[in-house]
Amino acid sequence: KNQVEQSPQSLIILEGKNCTLQCNYTVSPFSNLRWYKQDTGRGPVSLTIMTFSENTKSNGRYTATLDADTKQSSLHITASQLSDSASYICVVSPNRDDKIIFGKGTRLHILP
């Protein structure tokens, strides 16, 4: 069964600190993996997208990594800001199948 598991479920850190969110998937075959940011009451917004051949992708203070062998991805946030408070959702696309699979997300809280 194709699944996407994220950890931790929630995370609280102080403003300015770094953090790393994890995503493990069992989707096979695999086409690409995306990280989305979802602010409360809003729709998800794409942060990064990586194919199986890519190991890392950056978008400002967000850096995503992908290990296709172990089927793990991480999203690293550097120098966190209050506006980073949101849910971060890992999304995996099976090959030649447009029905993408969502993780449940990690809820990140940044404290001043």
Partner 1 sequence: DTGVSQDPRHKITKRGQNVTFRCDPISEHNRLYWYRQTLGQGPEFLTYFQNEAQLEKSRLLSDRFSAERPKGSFSTLEIQRTEQGDSAMYLCASSPSARDQETQYFGPGTRLLVL
Residues 73, 60, 79, CA angle at the centre, nearest 5°? 85
Q: Which of 46, 58, 81, 83 binds partner 1 (CB under 8 A)?
A: 46
Among 8, 58, 83, 104, contact with partner 1 (rule: CB under 8 A): 104
Q: Quick one: which segment of 13-21, 31-39, 59-67, 68-76 binds partner 1 (CB under 8 A)? A: 31-39
- Give the one residue of 31, 72, 78, 85 binding partner 1; rule: CB under 8 A: 31
Least distance to partner 1, CB of residue 55, Å: 17
Q: Work out how close the CB of 71 gets to partner 1 at its nearest, in angstroms, rounded to a whole number.
A: 18
